Chains A and B, each alone.
Chain A
Amino acid sequence: MNRRKFLQLMGATSVVALTASCNRNSSVMGALPGPTELARFPEKTEMILLTDRPPQLETPIHYFRQDLTPNEAFFVRWHLEGLPTSVDLRSFRLNVSGHVRQTLQLSMDELRSRFDPISIVAVNQCSGNSRSFFGPRVPGGQWKHGAVGNAKWTGVPMKSILDRAQVKEGAVDVSFNGLDAPPLPSVADFVKALSIDHARDGEVMIAYAMNDQPLPMVNGFPLRLVVPGWYGTYWVKALSDITVLPQAFSNFWTDKAYRIPTAPNGTESPKDLAKDTVPINRFNVRSIFVRPDSDEMLYSGAPTEIEGVAFDSGYGIRRVEVSTDGGTTWVDARLDPEIGKYSWRRWRALWTPRKLGHYRLMARATNAVGDTQSKEQWNRSGFMWNVIQQVDVKVG
């Protein structure tokens, strides 16, 4: 097909009636899907547009020069078309029910005033972050490395809420549902669950603030489940319903979706798919280059700061090694002070290229229990990417 004609057509026609009827404004978004199309959504800055409905927005890498990712630039990923666009805090309640002695209907004011708040700095990363780097390519959100962010989350420990509800003996799982709704009755509502022990570990929490501000609507206003060290699929947005269960939770989004092979880093072969899979869970170890960019021009004799962030599921980053010769030799990067065990940790290395030419930069993180990054990795869903990143730069 003729690409130019395709683009013209997409830019050209209608959708106007649609816009009006849906009460959505026709906005600054360009109509032409391209490699890196930018879009500005409500309460957000310009972000990389993957999809608009439901929205999937990726953070441009330069925001990772800050330890805490600004709310307006934090990545966005929804599953269901019917995401909430208006919440009335006068009538909003967080409902706690199921295998408890005391059901709860908590207003935002009650969550703020009747529970001691905690704050945790934690990375949230989409299961499919960096999916577009898998080969062979796999279907799904074609993220580069920006479906991740680090924020200070403030709210109430889930344990405090479950204790208030007086969980009965024999509880097994706790499920979490948000205000988002499926576009068809046949589509499973997006509900996720944690084990009762995990939910009561004192770190899993319900956040009403993100970097000391209310959450943007598309990041889960007014409440979001925070599951430190675990993939974003568990961080249920616009959280409204918590159900304690006396049996194991089961639904499409756990039984069929978001599953990984049992091998380390969720790896399997395209020619021999794993028979056994488990629900995705904790982050593996990875590092992300913040600078230089691959298309940045560097100069021989000029000191160049190489910088990135590294994180894992909470053991802590202990070492990051950097190579400027495609992995032949490695030197230790300097690590910034640890912010918190669930935060990412910044690393830096000063490099002065001596000769003109092309260089391949690499960075490899290792955590406190000796886990390090993959050399090769693939799975059918494009989850858990943690291959050692390569950045090719030119020195002129």
Chain B
Amino acid sequence: MTNIVVLVKQVPDTYSERKLAETDHTLDRESADAVLDEINERAVEEALKIKEAGEGEVTVLCVGPDRATDAIRKALSMGADKAIHVSDEALHGSDILATAKVIAAAIGKVEGVDLVIAGNESSDGGAGAVPALLAELLGMPQLTYAHHVSVEGSAIKVDRETADEGITHLEANLPAVVSVTEKINEPRYPSFKGIMAAKKKPVETLTVADLGLDAGEVGLDNAWSTVSEAAPKPPRTAGEKVEDDGDGGTKIAEYLVGQKLI
């Protein structure tokens, strides 16, 4: 029986226009549709696969405002068994350190965790550091950027994908923290039966105090970094036009070499 916790996050839909709030430069959650981050769908899918291959229980863990319930329900409708939702005004603007602390404390509430699965990085903050921070805080091995995962008894094997060096094979004893990449799987779509079943699945809501943490450890005021300024991305420029006077191919190749693209 593998007891799995999957970290999920509600993020602004990448298809809608995403903005930071003008006052404190935190995410403007009202301006965009909120969805379960796609990478987390893959994390949930991987947890469900491990569960279905043997025996197990999948707990979804989400830190986010009240409306993040929708993202939690989606994970439950895919087939996860239960959820923990940490929701607290004090968490607004928390940095990755505080977030990792909160997640670690919440994982402490789940008995006998064998495996924590996260997405490698969120599509909003994009720090990509929470899984590693979490492993450190929990004292578990970290197997990040996995594009293949297999659990064999009390061991976990991961194919780790890095940009330049190809694939590294990692192995660790459980419990462990794994983060997955986009290539890991194709997540399932919830069925109607799953959607209805999700309504009846337990969701435990916890505050910062419930986790035994102090509000002074989290939130915007206690973040280690601050955003001093934010500006929209400049519009795309026209690019460079290559005139073909018989040597167009060479010119393009030279340009690409110049950009270190080939």
Q: Do A and B come from one complex?
A: no
